[in-house]
Amino acid sequence: SYLFDISLKVLRKEDEFKKREPLVDYILDRAGQKGTGKWTVIDALERNVCVPTIAEAVFARNISANKKLRTELSTVFEEFHGKNLPPLNKFLPLLKNGLYASILSAYAQGYDLISQASREEGWDVNLAEISRIWEGGCI
């Protein structure tokens, strides 16, 4: 996916102006929002369509925007940081599979919402065409 590919590029990039350290260490740790995820979740609620993966992504961005709360919570759970993690060679496949599962869930939930909206509004949406469009750059 686009998000996975761009994340890999960012994580591999080194800072060219300082000590050749990972650039990610200098990036602000918060995500902005345009509101489309929120609108999607609201529309899903109004149409009685379940979109938990999409909703959690919106909630994660909300938490990301609240650095003070995240900092406070991280001290509460500090004793768990980095503990009980499997070795990297076992952790990466788990992470990859988890990412793919969440992508599949988000797509399925998006299709459910679009299908329901199409039925309610009489749009006759072509889901194959939606797939083609999403393949061209959907996060």
Does the pTM surpass 0.85? The reply is no
Give the number of domains in the chain. Answer: 2
- Examine the domain organization and report whether 69 and 48 are in the same domain: yes
- Examine the domain organization and report whether 24 and 60 are in the same domain: no
- Examine the domain organization and report whether 73 and 109 are in the same domain: yes
DSSP structure string for the chain? -HHHHHHHHHHHPBPTTTTS-BGGGGS-S-----SHHHHHHHHHHHTT---HHHHHHHHHHHHHH-HHHHHHHHHHTGGGTTTTPPPHHHHHHHHHHHHHHHHHHHHHHHHHHHHHHHHHHT----HHHHHHHHHTT--
* pLDDT tens digit at each of 139 positions of the chain: 676 777 778 778 777 776 777 777 777 766 667 888 999 999 999 999 999 999 999 998 888 888 888 888 888 877 767 677 788 888 888 988 998 999 899 999 999 999 999 999 999 999 999 998 888 766 5
Instruction: Residue 46: give the domain boundaries.
Output: 33-135
- Examine the domain organization and report whether 116 and 52 are in the same domain: yes
